[in-house]
Structure 1
Amino acid sequence: MNEYSILLTGGAGFIGHHFIHHRLRGTEDRIVNLDALTYAGDLESLKELENSPRYTFVEGDINNRELVDDLIRQFNINLIVHFAAESHVDRSIASASTFIHTNVAGTQVLLDVAREHGVRFIHISTDEVYGSLGKTGSFTEESPLAPRSPYAASKAASDCLVLACHHTFGLPVNVTRCTNNYGPRQFPEKFIPKMIIQALRGHSLSIYGTGENVRDWIHVHDHCTAIDAVIEKGIAGEVYNIGSSNERKNLEIARFILEELELDENRITYVDDRPGHDYRYSLDSDKIRNELGWAPRYEFEPALKKAIRWYKEHRPWWEYVLKRGVGL
């Protein structure tokens, strides 16, 4: 692998902190983690790196252009990996303005500074920018963007800004669009940890609508290795879909969790569906597999069982998160 000095945004988030650990284990990179420490930020997950000479944490907002410019100069940054984003659909429905501020305006600030210094830019996006599918088919990188929630619209806008910066100014960029992630230390508002924690607390598992909505699930470590592949082999200006072909209905996931915890299925309750709830996401990831040689390694059911055990064995972690005012 090449050696990089990376400015990584949003590294106190779920995928970001896993990527920091992953990259520092497997490379000689230096990583500067710029994170605003919003409600979903978790520095405890990075505590063991506090004394590492190759890791620096900086609390700050990606909209602070002066700060971003200073960090690039101070640490001789040659790669930005941009995870930072407001990412919860329900919150975007309740109030979209924060999503525009962070996901759109913040991305443009980073691009402006990256262009000024000639820094390569990897933008971490989502399959939700493509919209919703019926029961068949998968989105390719050539599929039109058709976001259907304020969150997805903000990510689609940021994708377009990143690609426009390449086509207009020649900045070396890539956009990755990944399916739903799961794994240890995921923030409890996300579906899988939410279901696990509700079950462990003795609560009902509340599912939108009839639970028929379908998502493709990828282990966070497989997502990390896919980003590695893009960093090492990605062609400037290209988009790469990242998927695992582990499509499951939300109801299937809830039933699996209850079965693993030896709890009765009558714990499942159904609530009014979310406005504009996308039915199904599915990605064709042949491009990254065939052109960059990446493939997922984690089998879904064994890895999900392991994740369930993690939440069961690390109750203090999620209890602390809940005490910070994040309800389920």
Structure 2
Amino acid sequence: MANLLVTGAAGFIGTNFVRYWLEHYPEDRLVGLDALTYAGCRRNMDALRHYQQFQFIHGDIGHYENICQILREQQIDTLVHFAAESHVDRSIHGPDTFIQTNILGTHSLLKAAKTVWLDEQPGLIHRFHHVSTDEVYGSLGPEDPPFSETTPYAPNSPYSASKAASDHLVRAYHHTYGLSTTVSNCSNNYGPYQFPEKLIPLMLVNILNNKPLPVYGDGLNVRDWLYVEDHVRGIEKILSAGIVGEVYNIGGNNEWKNIDIVHLLCQEMDRAFAERSELAARYPLAPPANGQPSTSLITYVRDRLGHDRRYAINANKMAYWLNFNPDIAFASGLRKTIAWYLDNESWWRELLARAAP
């Protein structure tokens, strides 16, 4: 039996991880920690109260003493660290929060883990798993090989720079103090519970509200897309069989241009409205509810500052050493995602209302 602390538990990937782990590992105890900022949803945690082995704590990863207390009192031996500020646009306009959460917050967790697991309980078998991003590697050209675990770091935004710094801190705590760590760098995630500021849920919600679909620049920026449950399964593999001190890239083997994603999403939304007649009454503002294609909302906007052109992940290490490959095909995952947002309107409307200025 393991005792897990999951930071960022009420956020997008954290929520999906917690739900997966509670379902598949009922013998484990799991504590979810989240500061409940704009992208964290208390409803996500309240929905899990029926799991006796689950406890939610509203707290900040930057509070070192509180983290130490949680590790001690809950007898935590596994920490899975999702908590982060992650939206590039927000980092451009307000980088301070990213430095505070992603760098100082991660260091607070590492310091607490060292104190409780190494200084107070030497010999305790433990794991600190840090969840990072492919953006730390910078930008690829059209013909460049995908990022591997040995690609030099070259972050280009305050967000990716803050994540790169946190990755280096995790590495340092392993090599200097002997903390048992692993790191995963993932490609773009999509799926249920994602705050509607990222590309797929933003476009989806904007279609339903008859708002423009903003496409940066020429729309030809390329990303590798990974369904969130596949990401969770990848972390599961690392926790169970990953080598301490190693870094693993988790990718979807699924590169798409942004504009092509938007067109595909529009087609799938039009299809959903054609197949489900009740949607027109529920979402009367949506173009397909009024006989118009969703693509009519596509609007090209000024490109993002420092916009990375292409990300792609070489996930051979995960495939070869941990026997992991993503299961969910992109078309299937996108349809699942659309269906979830269509059927969970109150969830995303509540988050948008709370985040409004």
Q: Would you say same fold, with TM above 0.5?
A: yes
Instruction: Kindly provide the CA deviation profile for residues 17-75 of structure 1, in whole angstroms up to 9, marking residues without a partner as x.
Output: 10001011111211111111101111212323124221111111111111001101111
8 Å contact from structure 1 (residues 180, 215) kept in 2: yes
Of residues 264, 283, 290, the one that matches 2:320 is: 290
Number of equivalences: 325
CA shift in 2, pair 1:24/1:264, >3 Å: closer
- Aligned-residue CA RMSD in angstroms? 1.1
In structure 1, what is the equivalent of residue 263 of structure 2? 255
**Deviation of 1:325 (Å):** 3.1
Contact 2:137 2:153 in 1 (8 A): yes
1:129 alignment partner AA: V
Corresponding position of 2:283: none
Aligned residue in 1 for 2:127: 120
Cα drift, residue 117 of structure 1: 2.3
Contact preservation (8 Å) 1:114, 1:120: no
Give 3-state SS (helix, strand or coil) of 1:19's partner: helix
- Show the 5 A alignment for 1:291-310: 291-310=321-340
Within 2, Cα distance between the matches of 1:189 and 1:326? 12
The amino acid of 2:303's aligned partner reads D
Match of 1:186 among 185, 189, 194: 194
Q: Answer whether contact 2:135 2:155 (CA < 8 A) is retained.
A: yes
Any gaps of 5 or more consecutive residues in structure 1? none
**Superposed displacement of residue 271, structure 1:** 0.4
Q: Deviations over 1:211-261 (max 9, x none)?
A: 101101000000000000000001011000000111111101110111112
CA drift at 1:264:
4.2
Between the two proteins, what is the percent identity of the paired residues? 48
Aligned: 1:147 with 2:155:
yes
**Matched position secondary structure for 2:355:** coil
> In 2, Cα distance between the equivalents of 1:310 and 1:298?
15
Question: TM-score by structure 2 length?
Answer: 0.89
Matched, 1:90 2:89: yes
Map residues 22-171 of structure 1 onto 2, 5 A cutoff: 22-27=20-25, 28-118=27-117, 119-136=126-143, 137-171=145-179
Matches within 5 A, 1:226-237: 226-237=234-245
Structure 1 residue 174 and structure 2 residue 182: aligned?
Answer: yes
Question: What is the identity, as a one-letter code, of the residue corresponding to 1:200?
Answer: L
Moved more, 218-227 or 111-120: 111-120
CA contact (8 A) 2:68 2:115 kept: no
Match of 2:228 among 220, 224, 231: 220
Quick check: 2:149–2:247 contact (8 Å CA) kept in 1? Answer: yes
Does the 8 Å contact 2:189/2:228 carry over to 1?
A: yes
Moved more, 258-267 or 163-172: 258-267
For structure 2, the residue ranges without an aligned partner over 5 or more in a row are 118-125, 271-292
Residues in 1 aligned to 2:139 and 2:36: alpha-carbon distance in whole angstroms:
31
Q: Is the contact made by 1:104 and 1:157 (CA closer than 8 Å) also made in structure 2?
A: yes
Q: TM-score, normalised by structure 1?
A: 0.97
Q: Secondary structure of the equivalent of 2:98?
A: helix
Amino acid at match of 1:181: N
Q: What is the letter of the counterpart of residue 110 of structure 1?
A: L
**Which protein is bigger by CA-based radius of gyration?**
2
Deviations, residues 74-116 of structure 1 (Å, cap 9, x unaligned)? 1100011100000010000001111111100111111111112
